[in-house]
């Protein structure tokens, strides 16, 4: 049965920010850059993604009307180096996969942001299909993040501070 487990999805993007700033944008400001329409539980009604930054902390999507939907639970929290979480947006926790995101400093002062998404066996018969969807989806999401990161300094003065 182990041979039938789909391989991890591994994707990366490079941003021209130091790791601490990239980590902050990725986690604390996810609701500002994540393509919520089409890549969230509440779709057009989604307005934010909240990280309770600690091991055991929840990652939660927030809708405009106050509803909340669990995306998962943090199993590692190591700012600015990365985090890992049991990932199950809108699903039962028994269907959680493992998402690791790492932020590695580059020689030029930028950061490589790397996704390692595994544990597809938790999705049962749909494992291969779900893995393939994420294999196509992560590059698009990371491209949006890279675009936001490229404008981060300009946007910083236009947005309210995070609470």
Give the pLDDT of residue 1: 45
| Exposure b/e, 42-65, CB count within 10 A at least 16 = b | beeebebbbbeeeeebebbbbbee
Number of domains the chain contains: 1
Which tens digits make up the pLDDT trace of 138-149? 999 999 999 999
Inside any domain, residue 89: yes
| CB contact at 8 A, 17 and 111 | yes
Inside any domain, residue 161: no
Q: Does the pTM of the predicted model rise above 0.85?
A: yes
Inside any domain, residue 101: yes
Q: Say how many residues make up the chain.
A: 163
Residue 52 belongs to what domain range? 2-152
Residue 159 has pLDDT above 50, yes or no: no
Inside any domain, residue 82: yes
Mean pLDDT of the chain: 93
Q: Once rounded to an integer, what is the mean pLDDT over residues 117-134?
A: 97
| CATH value at residue 79 | 3.30.530.20
Inside any domain, residue 158: no
For 120, other C-beta atoms within 10 Å of its C-beta total: 23
Inside any domain, residue 112: yes
Residues 6+ apart with CB under 8 A from 1: none
What region does 31 belong to: left with phi over 0, alpha with psi -120 to 50, or beta?
alpha
Q: Sign (positive/negative) of CA torsion 87, 90, 93, 96?
A: negative
Inside any domain, residue 163: no
Inside any domain, residue 162: no
| CB contact at 8 A, 62 and 51 | no
């Amino acid at each position: 049965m182990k041979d039938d487990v789909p391989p991890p999805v591994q994707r990366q993007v490079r941003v021209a920010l130091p790791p601490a700033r990239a980590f902050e944008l990725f986690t604390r400001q996810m609701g500002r850059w994540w393509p919520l329409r089409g890549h969230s539980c509440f779709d057009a009604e989604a307005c934010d993604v909240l990280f309770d930054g600690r091991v055991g902390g929840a990652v939660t999507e927030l809708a405009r009307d106050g509803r909340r939907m669990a995306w998962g639970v943090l199993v590692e929290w190591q700012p600015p180096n990365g985090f890992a979480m049991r990932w199950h947006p809108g699903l039962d926790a028994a269907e959680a996969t493992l998402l690791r995101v790492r932020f590695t400093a580059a020689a030029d002062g930028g950061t490589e942001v790397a996704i390692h998404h595994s544990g597809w066996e938790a999705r049962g018969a749909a494992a291969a299909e779900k893995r393939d969807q994420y294999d196509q989806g992560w590059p698009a999401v990371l491209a949006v993040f890279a675009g936001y990161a490229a404008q981060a300094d300009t946007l910083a003065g236009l947005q309210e501070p995070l609470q």
